Amino acid sequence: MEEIEKLKKETIKKLSKINDLRKYENLRALILGRKGKVAELFSKIRVVAKEKRGEFGAALNELKNELTTKFEKKYNDIKKANIKFDKYDLTRDSFPSFIGAIHPLNKTYIEIVNIFRNLGFTVVEGPEIEDEFHNFEGLNFPKDHPARDAQDSFFLEDGNLLRTHTTPVQIRILKKWTPPFAVISPGKCYRRDTIDASHSSMFNQIDGFLVDENVSVADLKGTLNNFIREIFGSNTKSRFRPHFFPFTEPSMEVDIECIFCQGKGCNVCKHTGWIEILGSGMIDPEVFKKCRIDPKRYTGFAFGMGIERITMLRQSIDDMRYFFENDVKFLRQFR
């Protein structure tokens, strides 16, 4: 019995001095291993007097349990002690990360399209290579008419042309769908313009139109004013100035109060206090007829706007060429 007590004391003493896993393992094997000291004592049971065997066995079991617990605790202590957590200086650079950017024009597109989608407009994209009917004739642009002057087109060798506006989508939908419907159509357009600060041979437009019974100029104003307030701020004033487009009658251009001078007059608004941002009007009955929609039953409004212009106004960009040069110093500003 003294042996048990002695082994217990010695082991606990030794164990307390150990602080690494290797020494721990050695000691564990020496004490608790298959040929360890505890096992040795167990093998001595047979030589203990019969009447003391029960007591001895119980003491041994207790020893084994106690030491096992102690060893386990020690093992955990050593483990804990050995794990070191590094400290980090967060003012240092992390791994270099790279992030691109969405093109500012695409960002404007998404914003505008979503405004109209929220009202219930459907997005439809049309082809950039169009035929004369969809781009001109269907929209009431007669051949050889000065109304085409502003839309000098690139003609293709196959007789088609590059659309000069996104309005041809209107003809496609009027021919295909049955009213009522409301459509918003974003996309690239092309005109034979020399590239400068405010012109480009390729540019981006959004066209929209709504056809139903009893649609009026009042609806047009409500829809577009909603758009203007969303895009330029809820206090933005607008005015609907009569104009001419072959495919709408009546036609109007929409101006907003100059956002740079609040209408007082500056260089941007040419001292008028107003900036033109889009063209609109009621779809001409002639256009309906060409698409086999009854103009007596249905009316509709249509509008179109330049994405570059709106982006330039909103984000103070003074030269259209930036959009197509794609300098990364430009692109990363508009994330």
Partner 1 sequence: MKYSLNWIKRYIDIDIDCTTLFEKLSMCGDEVEGYEEKLSEISNIVIAKIVKIEKHPSADKLHYCDVTDGKINYKIVCGAQNIEKGNIIPLAKIGATLPKGIKIKKSKIRGIESEGMLCSQKELGFGSDHSGIFILNDQYKIGTDFKKYFDDIIFEIEVTPNRPDLLSHYGLSREIGVILFKDAKPLEIEEEIAGKFESPIKVEIRDNSICSFYSLLFVKNIENNKTPDYIKQPLESLGLSSKNLLVDISNYNLLETGHPTHFFDADKIEGNIIVRFAKKGEKCITIDERERELIKSDLVIADEKKIVAIAGIMGCKNSEVDENTKNMAIESAIFNPVMIRRTKRRLEINSDAAYRFERGIDTGSPNISLKRILYLLKKYTSYEGISFPVTVSEKIPAKTEIVLKKENVDKVLGTNIKLDVITKILRFLGFRIEKLLNNSFKVIVPRYRELDVKREIDLIEEVGRIYSYDNIEEKRPYINGKIRRNKFYDFKNLIRNFWAARSAYNVMTLTVSEEELYRNYGYDGQFMKIKNPLNINQNVFAPLIFPRLVRVLIRNLKYKPERLNLFEIGRVFDEREQEKLSLLMYGNQFQANWLTTDNNNTINVQLLKGELVAFFDYIGIENVKFVNCDLPYFLSGNSGKILIDNEEIGYLGRLVPEKVPSNRVEYPILIAELSIKPLFKDELKAFRPFSPYPVVERDISIVFKKGIETGKIIENIKQSGTINLKNVFLLNVYNLSDEEESLTFHLKFQSFKKTLNDKNVDFFVDKIIKTIGEKLNGRLR
Residue 110 vs 197, nearer CB to partner 1: 110
Q: Locate tokens 């030589």: which residue? A: 47
Residue 56 vs 121, nearer CB to partner 1: 121
> Cβ of residue 55: shortest distance to partner 1, in angstroms?
46
Q: Could you give the dihedral angle defined by the CA atoms of residues 230, 232, 233 and 234, in that order, rounded to the nearest 10 degrees?
A: -60
**String of b and e for 208-231 (b: at least 16 CB within 10 Å)?**
bbbbeeebeeebbbebbbebbbbb
Residue span binding partner 1 (CB under 8 A) among the ranges 20-28, 48-56, 61-69, 319-327: 319-327
Residue 101 vs 266, nearer CB to partner 1: 101
Nearest in space to 287 (alpha carbons), one of 149, 173, 116: 173
Q: Does the footprint of partner 1 cover residue 235 (CB under 8 A)?
A: no
The Cα 77–Cα 81 span in angstroms is 6
List of long-range contacts for 72-75, beta carbons under 8 Å, 24+ apart: 74/15, 74/18, 74/24, 75/21, 75/24
Q: How many CA atoms lie within 13 A of 57 on its CB side?
A: 9
> Cβ of residue 316: shortest distance to partner 1, in angstroms?
19
Query: Scanning residues 253 to 282, which ones bind partner 1 (CB under 8 A)?
Result: 270, 272, 282
> Cβ of residue 283: shortest distance to partner 1, in angstroms?
10
Number of residues that bind partner 1 (CB under 8 A): 87
Residue span binding partner 1 (CB under 8 A) among the ranges 37-45, 54-62, 123-131, 310-318: 123-131
Residue selected from 30, 42, 226, 236 as contacting partner 1 according to rule CB under 8 A = 226
Per-residue CA distances from 306 to 2, 188, 203, 263, 328 (Å)? 100, 10, 8, 22, 23
Residue selected from 1, 12, 58, 102 as contacting partner 1 according to rule CB under 8 A = 102
Per-residue CA distances from 286 to 33, 129, 210, 301 (Å)? 101, 24, 16, 14
Over the window 168 to 207, marking each residue x when it contacts partner 1 by CB under 8 A and - when it does not, the resulting string is -----------xxxx-----x-x-xxx-----xxx-----
Q: Locate tokens 């437009």: which residue? A: 205
The Cα 42–Cα 270 span in angstroms is 106
Residue selected from 62, 110, 175, 316 as contacting partner 1 according to rule CB under 8 A = 110
> Cβ of residue 94: shortest distance to partner 1, in angstroms?
7
Residue span binding partner 1 (CB under 8 A) among the ranges 2-10, 34-42, 54-62, 99-107: 99-107
Q: Does the footprint of partner 1 cover residue 90 (CB under 8 A)?
A: no
Residue 11 vs 311, nearer CB to partner 1: 311
User: Strand, coil or helix: what is 113?
Assistant: helix
The Cα 129–Cα 156 span in angstroms is 9
Over the window 26 to 65, marking each residue x when it contacts partner 1 by CB under 8 A and - when it does not, the resulting string is ----------------------------------------
Q: Cα 30 to chain center, whole Å?
A: 65
Residue span binding partner 1 (CB under 8 A) among the ranges 6-14, 29-37, 41-49, 208-216: 208-216
Q: Does the footprint of partner 1 cover residue 158 (CB under 8 A)?
A: yes
> Cβ of residue 223: shortest distance to partner 1, in angstroms?
6
The Cα 320–Cα 191 span in angstroms is 15
